[in-house]
Amino acid sequence: MSTPSQIEIYDSTLRDGAQTEGIAYSLDDKLIIAQRLDDLGVHFIEGGWPNPTNPKDLAFFREVRRLPLRSRVTAFGSTRRAGLSPAQDPTLDTLLRAETETVTIFGKSWKLHVQQVLRCSLEQNLALIEDSVAYLVARGREVIYDAEHFFDGYGADPEYALSTLLAAERGGARIVVLCDTNGGAMPSEVFRITGQMRDRLGVPLGIHTHDDTGVAVANTLLAVEAGAVHIQGTINGYGERCGNANLCALLPNLELKLGRHTIGSERLRGLMDASRFLSEVANVAHDHNQPYVGESAFAHKGGVHVDAMMKAQAAYEHCDPGVVGNNRRYLLSDQAGTSTIVSKLERLCPGLDKRDPSVRRLLERVKRLEHEGYQYEAAEGSFVLMAQRVQGRYKDRFSLVSFRTINRKTGDQDEESEAIVKIRVDGRVHHTVAEGDGPVNALDQALRKGLEIDFPSIREVHLEDYKVRVLSSRDGTAAKVRVLIESTDGRDVWGTVGVSENIIDASWIALADSLHYKLMKDAGILPAAAASNGAGTAAAAMIDSQQEGMTR
């Protein structure tokens, strides 16, 4: 049994998380997620429902035995069916054949479900629960009992809902979990009822909440305050409908705010990495605004905020971002002040005073360009270039003379694109022509051809991502567009930006900046740390050098 300071962590990302709209894990996905959850240090990993109609989950339980996991993998299923003995029930049989030390079964707590879904008597339902738990315990399994729809059931008939928990206790369940399956319970309600159940039961309590009213994390925390010692949730809050309680918020809240031990401070530092890893495997965008592990969780944009942060980091942060593996970031925008500029330039020019005239010039230029539609939050490569140019530390190694793009489309034939570029390098004009898959690609190829003779390292640069944003749709086809480009040379990643009413011109500005950045980096003007920090990922669309290294 857990002590009050130790909270068991039960992760159901592989089952509840797989019920998220748009997420479908392969068998290999499930195995590598299980390994990552084990590395994170959760105590239980719910592997799924080993139902004969679900061959993927059956295969998972066969394959996962080969992994040297410290976490306990659990098989999930239901109580026996009415009319069948436990030995005859196919669900209980498959739970045993999964060969896990721990199994989790759910049963009905709400009279509505008993009478209208199971269509059996209230007394029969109690027998289903007790018999099923006892059958599994007698065969050497540790049983976690999930009381489905418990809070709804308690609201309808408190004594009957309690009787279902007592049936699981009589059957030998090690722990009984109160489930807010519909996600409709309020925090005060969860706190009150959990406390009452703690006083009525002789086994430990757990909590399982859904986020349909946006309070799953709050409900879980209050259940712990009321005596629950076992929590169930998913990484990133994945789950059916609005999701499950988010372990990425629960773990640090329990450890840092409530003083409970979950996975420990060392593993907690890997939480953001695990969160982003799950997003990648699930093939969904990482939520930038998640508490603790979102890229924006410790990002500061307003000038007043940044100025205060430079003086006292506790001014606008409730904890050190490093405790969960995140980073503090200062964002550039038209709301930025001189402190933001200084913080960005500090790695380039240590000791820079915010009263330096070049800081003021740079701030004025940033605000003017952002007014025109530029955005530097996701294009720090362009900002670093601008800063070095303003300070006279970098002089462009090439300049545009002219460019022209030609597109030809005949009938059903594929479009042909050609670009003609003239650039000046050390007083010499290079005139190059190239074809490509569309005008931007052709322009990129022609520009590279003109530069590679003088700058061979340009061959190392590859385009990672290309985004176009229309800035004012009411202007129709005359609207300005913003082009964001992400580039890499295999070592660092950087973002650049261009804005124009002409999408080709905007693309040229961003493309040219991406290559200027590479040449500046090669010339040793840019310190290595700054080069990495000039990165922006396609997933994050922001600068985050440490996390770039983890995800790439």
Instruction: Looking at mean pLDDT, say which of 164-178, 335-349, 523-537 comes out highest.
Output: 164-178
Residue type present at position 489: D
pLDDT digits (tens, 9 = 90+) for 19-29: 999 898 999 89
pLDDT tops 70 at residue 313 = no
Q: Which of 208-212, 337-341, 391-395 has the lowest mean pLDDT?
A: 337-341
10-282: in CATH 3.90.25.10? no
Give the residue carrying structure tokens 């909590």: 207
Cα–Cα distance measured from residue 292 to residue 334, given in angstroms and rounded to the nearest whole number: 26
pLDDT tops 90 at residue 410 = no
pLDDT at 38: 97
Q: Which of 104-108, 198-202, 544-548 has the lowest mean pLDDT?
A: 544-548
pLDDT at 292: 96
pLDDT tops 70 at residue 478 = no
Q: What percent of the chain has pLDDT over 70?
A: 83
pLDDT tops 80 at residue 439 = yes
pLDDT tops 70 at residue 332 = no
Cα–Cα distance measured from residue 247 to residue 326, given in angstroms and rounded to the nearest whole number: 16
Q: Would you say 86 and 104 are in contact if contact means Cβ atoms under 8 Å apart?
A: no
Q: Would you say 15 and 28 are in contact if contact means Cβ atoms under 8 Å apart?
A: no
pLDDT tops 60 at residue 405 = yes
**For 269-391, where are the alpha helices, taking DSSP H only?**
271-282, 303-311, 338-345, 357-371, 380-390
pLDDT tops 70 at residue 400 = yes
pLDDT at 212: 97
pLDDT at 535: 34
Q: Is the pTM of this model over 0.85?
A: no
pLDDT tops 50 at residue 34 = yes
Positive or negative CA dihedral for 11, 15, 17, 18? positive
**Band (491; pLDDT cuts 50, 70, 90):** confident
pLDDT tops 50 at residue 189 = yes
How many residues does the structure list for the chain?
552
User: Residue 482: which H helix or E strand, with range?
Assistant: strand 481-488
Specify the CATH number of the domain 398-454. Answer: 3.30.160.740
**Band (35; pLDDT cuts 50, 70, 90):** very high
What is the pLDDT averaged over residues 370-395? Answer: 77
Q: Would you say 513 and 497 are in contact if contact means Cβ atoms under 8 Å apart?
A: yes
pLDDT at 328: 74
pLDDT digits (tens, 9 = 90+) for 269-279: 999 989 988 98
pLDDT at 477: 57
For 516, the token pair is: 């200027």
Domain assignments of the chain as residue spans, ordered by start: 10-282, 299-390, 398-454
pLDDT tops 90 at residue 366 = no
Residues 6+ apart with CB under 8 A from 178: 147, 150, 151, 190, 193, 194, 197, 205, 206, 207, 208, 223, 228
DSSP assignment of 310-334: HH-GGGS-SS-GGGGT---EE--ST
Q: Would you say 282 and 263 are in contact if contact means Cβ atoms under 8 Å apart?
A: no
What is the pLDDT averaged over residues 147-164? Answer: 97
Q: Which of 434-443, 474-483, 488-497 has the lowest mean pLDDT?
A: 474-483
pLDDT tops 60 at residue 3 = no
pLDDT digits (tens, 9 = 90+) for 54-92: 888 899 999 999 999 999 999 999 999 999 999 999 999
Cα–Cα distance measured from residue 348 to residue 534, given in angstroms and rounded to the nearest whole number: 11
Q: 403 versus 367: which is more confidently predicted?
A: 403
pLDDT at 538: 28
- Secondary structure of residue 517 in the 3-state scheme: helix
Cα–Cα distance measured from residue 70 to residue 96, given in angstroms and rounded to the nearest whole number: 20
- Secondary structure of residue 341 in the 3-state scheme: helix
